[in-house]
Amino acid sequence: MTSQQRPERSPEYPLECDHCHYPIPGEPDETDDGQFCSTTCLEAGKDGDEVPDPSAYKRIVTGVEPLDSLVPNGVPADSFVCLSGEAGTRRSELLTELVWRAIERGEPAVILTATTPPAAVLERFFENGWNVLPALEDDRLRLVDCFTHRLADRDAFRDHRGEWIEFVGEAAADSIVPIEEPTDVEPILRELNAALDDLEMTETGLVAIDSLSELARGLETDHVHEFVTETRATVCKARYVPIFGGWTAGDEGVTMDESVFDGVVDLRLADHLEPDTRLRQLGVRKLTGARFLPQWITYEYEPVRGLLASVVETAGQATPGGPPSREMQGVRERR
């Protein structure tokens, strides 16, 4: 991955293992080939096995300004992150931008859609001025379609498409993976992993799920838990490919045990900061294995530029919306 962050290293352990690239906590095992933290790494080094530098894949900078400003050292690449927000918080735009920033970095991406036809998902990119046709042509973008099966008359849907949507659908035809019966976890997991294999997605790229809530409506509650648990293990933990999944906060029709996620990012509408203005804010509730700042970031949305951190004037005071102050960073570093 590009735009990575190297994990912080303690000054107490300045030496780095020449095989695993992690700090050496004691006396190194030294040979003519280098210095190693353990016999295991020394023997692996003799065999010629190579391990990538951890900074090359274990943390990513997403490219989404409000989110990155709260996670200064990057998001762990083995994370399943739930984006929890009510309607109107631009959750769909956030997911779209996460995918686009990965494509911009030259990485592949997979979108699992449960709320919208694939061509309409792609239209969100074009509405932002982000042309994904080259990524489709270069086989760097796949769409796992868990929506189209719901249509009672698919032929009528295709016949009534406008010229542009028809063009986009035809251009993306080879990149769409249809799930005929997404009422069971197994076919979804199978096709998702097959798409990742085809795109050679290990230690690169990301997966975006437009709505875990909508996916859950077609599955039993315990099956949703199974889906998250399985994908977290086989995609995030095994491949070092992060997953970002949307969740509708306050949806009484479906429930989810949030303890199964590595991270939870909350998006909210804030009416209390400025009279007659409904502001949008983003905050990180949890993110296992990463340092994050304990504050809300006010953000705006602008086509082409995506989500932007902003500063709101309230009662003569500035409410932080951009990157955190040095004082706030100092508080976090001392804890």
* Per-residue model confidence (pLDDT) at position 205: 97
Q: Is the dihedral of CA 135, 137, 139, 143 positive or negative?
A: positive
Q: Which residue has the higher pLDDT, 34 or 103?
A: 103
pTM of the full structure: 0.82
The answer to whether residues 47 and 117 belong to one domain is no
pLDDT at 216 over 50: yes
Cβ atoms of 246 and 211 closer than 8 Å: yes
Burial level of 330, CB count in 10 A (0-12/13-18/19+)? exposed
Asked if 246 and 210 count as a contact pair (C-beta separation under 8 A), the reply is: yes
What mean pLDDT comes out for the span 123-137? 96
* pLDDT-based confidence at residue 139 (cuts at 50, 70, 90): very high
Residue 149 shares a structural domain with residue 225: yes
Residues 27 and 44 both lie in one domain: yes
Do residue 104 and residue 27 come from a single domain? no
Residue 1, in any domain of the structure:
no
Number of alpha carbons in the 13 Å side-chain half-sphere of residue 164: 5
The set of residues, in sequence order, having a beta carbon less than 8 Å from that of 102 and lying 6+ positions away, is 63, 108, 109, 205, 206
| Residue 51 vs residue 291, higher pLDDT | 291
Q: Are 19 and 105 in the same domain?
A: no
**What is the model's pLDDT at position 273?**
64
SS (H, E, C) 256-287: CCHHHCCEEEEEEEECCCCCCCCEEEEEEEEE
Is residue 71 a part of any domain in this protein? yes
Q: Within a domain: residue 201?
A: yes
Asked whether 154 and 192 are in contact (CB, 8 A), the reply is no
Residue 40 pLDDT > 80: yes
- Residue 128 shares a structural domain with residue 29: no
Summarize the confidence of residues 225-248 as an average pLDDT: 95
Instruction: Give the C-alpha separation, 199 to 196, whole Å.
Output: 5
pLDDT at 333 (0 to 100): 31
Evaluate whether residue 232 is within a structural domain: yes
Q: Number of folded domains in the chain?
A: 2
- Write the DSSP string, 161-182: --HHHHHHHHHTGGGEEE-S-T
What does the pLDDT average to over 232-246?
Answer: 97
Same domain, 25 and 94: no
The CATH number linked to 130 is 3.40.50.300
Q: What is the CA radius of gyration of the chain?
A: 22
Same domain as 156, residue 115: yes
Do residues 191 and 292 both lie within one domain?
Answer: yes
Tokens standing for 297? Answer: 């970031």
Domain that holds residue 290: 57-333
Mean pLDDT of the chain: 86
**Residue 151: per-residue pLDDT:** 84
Among residues 56, 71, 89, the one where a domain terminates is: 56
Q: Is the pLDDT of residue 327 over 90?
A: no
